[in-house]
Structure 1
Amino acid sequence: MDKIVFIWMVNIFNFNFLAGQNSQQCTTEKRCQCKEVEPGLLADCSGLNLDFYPRFFDGIVTIDVSYNKLKDFPSTIDVPTTLKHLNLSGNLLRRIDTDKSRKLFSHINDLASLNLSSNLIPLDPNVYPADIFMNLTKLKSLDLTRNNITSVEFRTLDHVIKPLVSLEMFAIDGSEKISFGVGFGTLKYLWHLRLYGSCNRNRLLTIGKDYFDNLSNLRTLDISSEITRNFTTMDWTTSLCSLFYIHRGAISKLSHLKYLDISYNRELGLCGFSNITHDLPSTQIKIFRANYLHCNAGPSVTLFCDDIKPLTNTTLEELYFDGNNIDFAQTGVLYYLPVSLKRLTLRSNRWIQNRYTYCNTFGLTNLTYLDISDMNIHQISSDERYVDCLNFFRIINCEKLRSSSFGTSLNPRVWEACIEQCLKPQTIENFNAQTKRGEVYETSNISYPLTCSTPISFATNVNMFFVPRNLEHIVMNNSRLGHTLSYIYFASSNLKSLVLSHNQFYSLIGPICNATKLKYLDLSNNRCSYLSPYVFRELIALEKLILDNNLIGSAQILQEKNVRDLFSMQLKLKELSLASNGIKFLPTEIFRNLKKIRLLNLSKNQLSDWNVNLEHMRHLIYLDLSENQILFLSDSGMALIGSGFSKIFTIDLSINPIQCNCDSYSFILWLIKCKEKFKKFKQYTCSLMKPNITDIPNANIYLTKKCSSYVSLTVLAINFIICFLALLVIVIIYRNRWKLRYWYYIAKRQYFRGYNRVADEKRYRFDAFISYADEDRIFVTKSVKTKLEEEAGLRLCIHHRDFIPGCDIADNIINAIHQSRKVIFIITEAFLKSEWCMYELNMAHTENVISRQGTNMLILVFKEDIPQNRIPQKIQQIVQEEVYLDFPDDIEDEVIFWNHLTRSIL
């Protein structure tokens, strides 16, 4: 095992040595520290007076006893020889040349990092003997910052550091009393140097030309000032400490330098900045931080071309130039930024709109990130306490000195024609005119097609943003923009994220064109109360949209039918946030196209119910409805939310004024049933008449007793009424089923084929309609047809011969009955078994009762002897009311039978 960890806990009486009881834990954490790693496992011993140490195990590699008021170094018997990392920062150590320290540093030869910062050890040659670190040949990191800087010059520091042949990172308080002698030149691995600007009378004021002569191997150099904010005394003076001036040529000695930070040197100013940029072409600089180089209450300054012109000849990739009181830049200044630049931040300045605003930045082909947030923040709106500028007139003199080079020649790689266009105000007017005509705007041989699928007839002007062609991220947070976000066209189509929060866009009209790759858009905190339906129409690749802290709840579009068009093109949207917008209701169709939405935030609004369908949101995993005005959800609201439930779906209804009463009982039951879907469910509370019951589970128990009888009785009564009405309807329909069928077909004939009552007809088409079973077809065709049709001259309707092909059987039956004077039923066993025969019998009886007013139109012929108990009640009823004949068994009686049948028909 390469690392074994020891953990010791502190008791107010003695040290609790955990070798026996927690030895397994000590071998898994892999650190030895007096900090709380897990609640209840490790004690936080910061602030205790530890004047002695428990004995450590062999194999310990890391010891962290920072901020424990230690007054002396640990003894060698308490520290294992395997130690590699020792942190003694934030204690009360006063000397480093004690016997304990000498023995300690001779004992731990494998030490790789040593942190002695924030102690009381003076940076004095009398305290640091030359041989103190003699045995630490493997030390890679040494931190001596935040200690006492004396008035004694420490010119022999290189003799102390020289034995550290493996040293890679060195941190020390910057001071004019400390120098880096020739001994530092032998440290070929010293790549990282940190000079804190601690405040005292011996602070680092200036850096001479030869200050870094023996540090030629440096890769990173941090000489930024350390800011300490004391909120109790409101003492902010530390921000004015450290670097006062740096001479030209000091940084040029660092030919391998890749990272440089000079931030928070409040008195350095742009004069010192210019001296540094002059040296950077001699380095390999990649990252340059130059933030807050002016007193925050100082005057505004101008950025000239000469300030950044040397950067053109560097390979700089990241430039941070925040908080420098810049309100104006010389036209064309951006063209001097190097082509290699990828990230540029200009936050917290005082930029004002001018001609340089509209200049194209064609040369910055590698720029992907631009931040110009917090523009023109004044003293009264800042969260800092402004201190007085100590050298106000020195800043003014610096401006005069720098302005003497105004109007210098431009970078040769910049097109002169483009600069001339930037200087002409009519350029933007020409662009607007071309846009309305749908033309192509050309400048410096680069064409931008002015195309947008959304009609722009409403737009009076088009706001063209000439951004570098590969720019992906723009941050303009709190930049005093507004009041209307009208038609915008980006000259670059590679934009992926755009942050416009904390501005003053009261109206979002749009559209935002040529941003088809935009995935992230933040328009929060703009007090917006107007949205047009086409503001987001062109943003087809949008995946996250933030509209928090606006006034969308009062927007007219929520009342209009075209609200469905608001997010109609956001087919790839995954996150939508509409928190804190005063929304009282949501139109049902507002999210109809958000099929890939995953997170939907509607918290801190005024919603009282839910009426948006979630069924199409198959990927939705989180719906935030917290801090609304939901007393309880209606049945439809619960059903709509339930339609979006999936295995990973969660919803937040916390901090809502949920009511617990019988009216909301079904909602409470729903919460209990689906509690695994509700985030922070244990924190849900509700208002109840009975005191001391606020959580949902206990409220449910109370409501079950209170509302169960009422609910049960109500449910039982409703169910009984429904069943009774259903049974009544079924009985009525069953008893009148034949009449209903009959009237159905009569109505069908009347409206689709025409219908004439029998009384209006001069004669029937048929004398008789023969109803029989297929088994009796021979009897009908041989006997009935011969006797009645051929011999008696009657016209019969026989279904296999006279029914109209292509018509429904039921329609044919109704037509035959209606067009026949009589209906003859051949009653046999097969007849009684046939559904269609019984259907014909019932339809004919209904016709006789309703349309023929009870005239005798039914003739029953019993061809077979059928037992009485097998004859249906309907036929028995007809036998009592209508004519019926028995077919004779003897041939001699058939003549009489046929005569009687013929007379019955006529």
Structure 2
Amino acid sequence: MRWGIVLHFGILFVPWVTSFGFRNCIQSYDIKDSYNCIYRQLLDVHSAVSDLPNVTKFLNISHNNIMTLHPGSFGHMPLLQLLNLGQNSVRNISAGAFENLTNLRSLTLSCNRISSLSPEVFHGLGNLTHLFLDHNLLASIHAWAFSPLNNLIFINVSSNQLKNFSEVVGSIHQLRTLNVLLMCGNKLTSLNHSQELPPSLTELHLCKNQLRDLNCHHDLLAKISYLDLSYNNLTASTLGKMNLSKVTYLRLESNNEFNIFKFLHKRTVTPDKIDYSGLKLNNATNLTELCDYLKPVNMSKLTLRANGIRSLPDHIFENCTPKHMDLSRNRLKKMCCLKFLKPSDLESLTVEHNLLKELSNCNDSTPFSNLQNISFQYNRIWQVKRYAFGYAPNLRELKLNINNIGILEKYALSGLRKLSMLRLDNNLITDLYENSFHDLTELHTLNLRNNRVSVIFNNTFCHLAKLRFLDLGGNKITHLSYDSLYGLQTLSNLYLDGNKIQKISRDTFSNVMSTLQVLDLKSNQLRYDSSRKHFSPFCNLSKLYDLKLQAQQPFGLTAVPHGFLAGLTSLRLLYLSQNRLTSLRPDVFNGLDQLQYLTLADDCNGIQNLPQGIFKNLKNLRILDLENICLQTLTLSIFENLSKLRRLQLMKNALKHIDVDVLKNMTSLVYLDLRKCPLTCTCNNYDLQRWLNQSQVQVVYPYNLSCPGMPFSYIHDFNMHVCDMKIKMFFFCFTFPFLLLFIVIPVVYSRTYWRLRYNYFLFVAWLHQHWKSEKELYKYDAFVSYNSHNEDWVFGELLPNLETCHPSLAFRLCLHHRDFQLGRDIIDNIVDSVHNSRKTLCVISRDYLRSEWCSLEMQLASYKLLDEMRDVLVLIFLEHITDRELSTYHKMRRVMLKKTYISWPSEPDAQKLFWAKVRIALKGSSSPDGEENQGFSLDEREPLVIS
């Protein structure tokens, strides 16, 4: 399967990449089996062909820097028919480099640095027919170099350094099918040989060598029909010894010592088979003598190019006028109405690259009734007078282009009633008159390109009823009136590009509306400021299929008016590029149902996104060029209904993300160009990467789609596995619980650390409860929680009354300064003391409330109260603290909501009652079911409850 092969070789070169695109080649849009890999600076063949399919038939790897062709370079391309390796730096061709190319027909190795050919260099090319080795450094050819080429027809070894003709003959003598051998531009000095030329060889080019003495067998060239010996040092006597009986064309130009008349005298070649160019036949005597030799011959063509002829006397060729005469590249200044020729036989006359200055009036000249073609191009003609071609009434084609014609007189072309093609392009013509083309009623093609025409007067073309092609491009036309195109009843192609036309209307083309098919208005000065105004200059051109409006000067169209393209029901090609459009209406292309090609390239002057539905009616569109229009997004609403689109150019846009659904919607797409778009290597392009690796749409150089700001990173191999939804879900499910724990644990820890720590101690205590008696459960009767600022009261009042009093009334108290274990963590000491005490006695003052450690001790005691469900907390207030002050201490507030307190009285008599109540509170039942002790204020009022 074809695409399987593509994927296979793609993987060989770039692991994990299987997209239908090629690293260094572009598949031809029109010819599916043709690939171009040019101008890629490649250093080896493998870089080009490694990812190409094995069905490739045409391959161009020219204009690179390849130096060596290794064995088996094209081994996976057995169907290859044409291979171009020209314009490289190839020096070495290894044996077997072309192995397995059994279907190759043409091989181009031109313009390299090949200096030698080994015997097995062309092994495997048994069906090769054309071989190009010109412009190399070949100095010698091995005798068996071409032996595998059994079907070779054409070989070109021109412009090398070959010196030994015998060596070349020895390498080709076994080629029984060889027809053409080109050896021009070498260093041959003779045709010395040891073997005969192949009997099939009929065309031999030996021009631009150093041949002087042929030094060969006289029958060496006996079977050659086309022989080029120009630009050597041959003489007539040398060549006259050769058997040239089969020669039908002999070129001898620029052999400085060659005497053509001595050669003609020997009758080695009949005179009509010789090209007489460059033989110094530059005077009347030589031309007359030549004509005497040609007189008895039925001459078909006489070529006298580059002889330095300055003038031609009247009737000089009267006795030897051929049917076709070429006088190009001489020094002629006048034609004198062709009086130097015999009128009866001449059919075509070519006088190019001369010094002709004017064409005179030939109204009374003898007519050349058979003359049909005249070419005076590449001269210096500045004036064409009236009836200048009066001698050629039956002329069909006339070429006056590339001259200096500024004056084309009225009736200059009169009498040419059968003329079908007239070229006046690249001249200096400024004015065209009604009578300029009066008699050209059969004219089919008129080319006036690149002149200085500024005005097309009314009725200028009124007599050209059969004109089909009119080229007025490259002039200075500023406007066209209603009658400018009057009379052009069959005009199909009109070229007005490169002018200065500023306005067009529906009347402009009214005279050609029923026939016009191609209209070129490129590079004029059309401009519209708003797309809202309704304007339709093409509404009647129902047969127009090609419209060019690109590159309007100097700032482009800017806007396309509403309904501008209305009426173009047959339009298939539309060019709107280089117009710097600022906006396009969504309905701008409505009605163009037959459109197949559309370009908006290089319109980046404000267009950032196309309007939705702009292409919705282009159901037959095949090619869409949106290169460099500042496009930022691709959406289905823009590119809907493009089901027949085959080629999409998106090069040089601001696209960072490609919606793959847009591409999938283009079901016929085969070619996509995304070069120089800043596509990001993010999850936004995850689907694009998958599409690149799976689609059969050719993406131009997909391996060069790099990530902006990330050197050596590319879209095709960027790691996007984390973008996979299944992987995302897996990682989410796996990591979310841990992340949640990492978030929750610190919060819980910070808020409930002490409670957790205390519960730990409760658990440890529970383990020991089964082994201890009730008395052994508690080490202290009470843990005293106080602030250091209240130490005087604790030591002066609390201890004497509760611990150091009568033994029967004494309690075991735990004080932090005395009973905490040295070296142990203070928090552990507090927790342990609270746990090992039956009660916790809190001595509360303002300093106590501000102390964090005291707050911690009370909180731990409250945890014990809640856990054991019994009264374990005794509160003693040393100061009167208002409700407002207490309300700011939330932890104390929560405890006081459930507990009453005992206040320290200032009266001595009341203190006895205070200590009695404290003792009662400390002796209270430790059982959960015991009656809860209540504390009272000294004045027997309601207890103070903190709220």
TM-score (norm 1): 0.56
Q: Which residue of 2 aligns with 1:704?
A: 721
Please tell me whether residue 370 in structure 1 is matched to residue 399 in structure 2.
Answer: no
| Cα distance in 2 for residues equivalent to 1:670 and 1:12 | 43
Q: Which residue of 1 aligns with 2:357?
A: 269
Change in 2 beyond 3 A, CA 1:698/1:512: same
Q: Which residue of 2 aligns with 1:361?
A: 461
Q: Which residue of 1 aligns with 2:269?
A: 163
Q: Which residue of 1 aligns with 2:190?
A: 72
| Cα distance in 2 for residues equivalent to 1:620 and 1:8 | 37
Please tell me whether residue 218 in structure 1 is matched to residue 323 in structure 2.
Answer: yes
How far the C-alpha of 1:288 sits from its partner, in A, is 4.4
Counterpart code for 2:694:
K
Change in 2 beyond 3 A, CA 1:75/1:369: farther
Q: Which residue of 2 aligns with 1:816?
A: none
Please tell me whether residue 601 in structure 1 is matched to residue 625 in structure 2.
Answer: yes
Q: Which residue of 1 aligns with 2:885?
A: none
Contact 2:547 2:574 in 1 (8 A): yes
- Structure whose CA Rg is larger: 2
Please tell me whether residue 621 in structure 1 is matched to residue 643 in structure 2.
Answer: no
Q: Which residue of 2 aligns with 1:324?
A: 427
| Pairing of 1:750-789 with structure 2 (within 5 A) | none
Q: Which residue of 2 aligns with 1:349?
A: 451
How far the C-alpha of 1:541 sits from its partner, in A, is 1.2
Please tell me whether residue 539 in structure 1 is matched to residue 592 in structure 2.
Answer: no
Q: Which residue of 1 aligns with 2:577?
A: 548
Contact 1:467 1:490 in 2 (8 A): no
State which of 181, 191, 194 in structure 1 corresponds to 2:300: 191
How far the C-alpha of 1:630 sits from its partner, in A, is 1.0
| Pairing of 1:891-906 with structure 2 (within 5 A) | none
| Pairing of 1:747-896 with structure 2 (within 5 A) | none
In terms of fraction of residues, the more helix-rich structure is 1
Contact 1:287 1:317 in 2 (8 A): no
| Cα distance in 1 for residues equivalent to 2:487 and 2:321 | 38
1:495-552 Cα shifts (integer Å, max 9, x gaps): 2212222222224954125432221111222122132222221222111111221122
1:853-891 Cα shifts (integer Å, max 9, x gaps): xxxxxxxxxxxxxxxxxxxxxxxxxxxxxxxxxxxxxxx
Please tell me whether residue 679 in structure 1 is matched to residue 766 in structure 2.
Answer: no
1:396-448 Cα shifts (integer Å, max 9, x gaps): xxxxxxxxxxxxxxxxxxxxxxxxxxxxxxxx9xxx9xxxxxxxxxxxxxxxx
1:296-316 Cα shifts (integer Å, max 9, x gaps): 99987220134222423xx33
Q: Which residue of 2 aligns with 1:475?
A: 495
Counterpart code for 1:167:
K
State which of 131, 148, 159 in structure 2 corresponds to 1:46: 159
Structure 1 residues 303-312 or 705-714, which shifts more?
705-714
Contact 1:86 1:115 in 2 (8 A): yes
Query: Unpaired runs of 5+ in structure 2?
Result: 1-104, 139-148, 150-154, 383-400, 530-534, 738-947
Counterpart code for 1:515:
L
Contact 2:328 2:350 in 1 (8 A): yes
Q: Secondary structure at the match of 1:581?
A: coil
| Cα distance in 1 for residues equivalent to 2:238 and 2:313 | 26
Change in 2 beyond 3 A, CA 1:216/1:292: closer
Counterpart code for 2:561:
S
Q: Which residue of 2 aligns with 1:504?
A: 525
Q: Secondary structure at the match of 2:437?
A: helix
Q: Which residue of 2 aligns with 1:827?
A: none
Please tell me whether residue 592 in structure 1 is matched to residue 616 in structure 2.
Answer: yes
Change in 2 beyond 3 A, CA 1:345/1:688: closer
Change in 2 beyond 3 A, CA 1:464/1:245: closer
Please tell me whether residue 83 in structure 1 is matched to residue 83 in structure 2.
Answer: no
Greater RCO (Cα-Cα under 8 Å, separation 6 or more) = 2
| Cα distance in 1 for residues equivalent to 2:270 and 2:358 | 37
| Cα distance in 1 for residues equivalent to 2:590 and 2:507 | 19
Change in 2 beyond 3 A, CA 1:671/1:80: closer
How far the C-alpha of 1:623 sits from its partner, in A, is 1.2
Please tell me whether residue 529 in structure 1 is matched to residue 558 in structure 2.
Answer: yes
Q: Percent identity?
A: 19
Q: Secondary structure at the match of 2:688?
A: helix
Change in 2 beyond 3 A, CA 1:14/1:678: closer
Counterpart code for 2:409:
F
Contact 1:311 1:336 in 2 (8 A): yes
Q: Which residue of 2 aligns with 1:659?
A: 680
Change in 2 beyond 3 A, CA 1:290/1:5: closer
Change in 2 beyond 3 A, CA 1:170/1:300: closer
Q: Which residue of 2 aligns with 1:465?
A: 485
Q: Secondary structure at the match of 1:181?
A: helix
State which of 209, 233, 249 in structure 2 corresponds to 1:92: 209
State which of 357, 365, 370 in structure 2 corresponds to 1:283: 370
Q: Secondary structure at the match of 1:498?
A: strand
Counterpart code for 2:717:
N
How far the C-alpha of 1:343 sits from its partner, in A, is 1.8
| Cα distance in 2 for residues equivalent to 1:11 and 1:346 | 42
Give the count of matched residue pairs. 579
Please tell me whether residue 246 in structure 1 is matched to residue 246 in structure 2.
Answer: no
Please tell me whether residue 181 in structure 1 is matched to residue 291 in structure 2.
Answer: yes
| Cα distance in 2 for residues equivalent to 1:502 and 1:174 | 48
How far the C-alpha of 1:255 sits from its partner, in A, is 4.1
Counterpart code for 1:548:
S
Contact 1:252 1:283 in 2 (8 A): no
Contact 1:289 1:320 in 2 (8 A): no
Contact 1:9 1:17 in 2 (8 A): no
| Cα distance in 1 for residues equivalent to 2:117 and 2:683 | 58
| Cα distance in 2 for residues equivalent to 1:362 and 1:289 | 27
| Cα distance in 2 for residues equivalent to 1:348 and 1:10 | 35
State which of 515, 530, 546 in structure 1 corresponds to 2:541: 515
TM-score (norm 2): 0.54
Counterpart code for 1:47:
N
Counterpart code for 1:344:
L
| Cα distance in 1 for residues equivalent to 2:108 and 2:402 | 49
Change in 2 beyond 3 A, CA 1:8/1:71: farther
Counterpart code for 2:672:
I
Counterpart code for 1:602:
L
Please tell me whether residue 57 in structure 1 is matched to residue 136 in structure 2.
Answer: no
Change in 2 beyond 3 A, CA 1:5/1:671: closer
How far the C-alpha of 1:474 sits from its partner, in A, is 1.8
Contact 2:524 2:551 in 1 (8 A): yes
| Cα distance in 2 for residues equivalent to 1:249 and 1:14 | 53
Counterpart code for 1:324:
N
How far the C-alpha of 1:116 sits from its partner, in A, is 2.9
RMSD: 4.5
| Cα distance in 2 for residues equivalent to 1:84 and 1:300 | 44
1:471-491 Cα shifts (integer Å, max 9, x gaps): 221222323333556752231
Q: Secondary structure at the match of 2:422?
A: strand
Change in 2 beyond 3 A, CA 1:282/1:371: same
Contact 1:500 1:523 in 2 (8 A): yes
Change in 2 beyond 3 A, CA 1:16/1:717: closer
Contact 2:614 2:638 in 1 (8 A): no
Q: Which residue of 2 aligns with 1:569?
A: 591
Q: Secondary structure at the match of 2:181?
A: strand
Contact 1:480 1:503 in 2 (8 A): yes
Contact 2:402 2:425 in 1 (8 A): no
1:827-873 Cα shifts (integer Å, max 9, x gaps): xxxxxxxxxxxxxxxxxxxxxxxxxxxxxxxxxxxxxxxxxxxxxxx
Contact 1:5 1:27 in 2 (8 A): no
Q: Secondary structure at the match of 1:373?
A: coil
| Cα distance in 2 for residues equivalent to 1:76 and 1:250 | 53
Query: Unpaired runs of 5+ in structure 1?
Result: 226-240, 378-427, 433-460, 721-906
Change in 2 beyond 3 A, CA 1:607/1:350: same
Q: Secondary structure at the match of 2:699?
A: coil
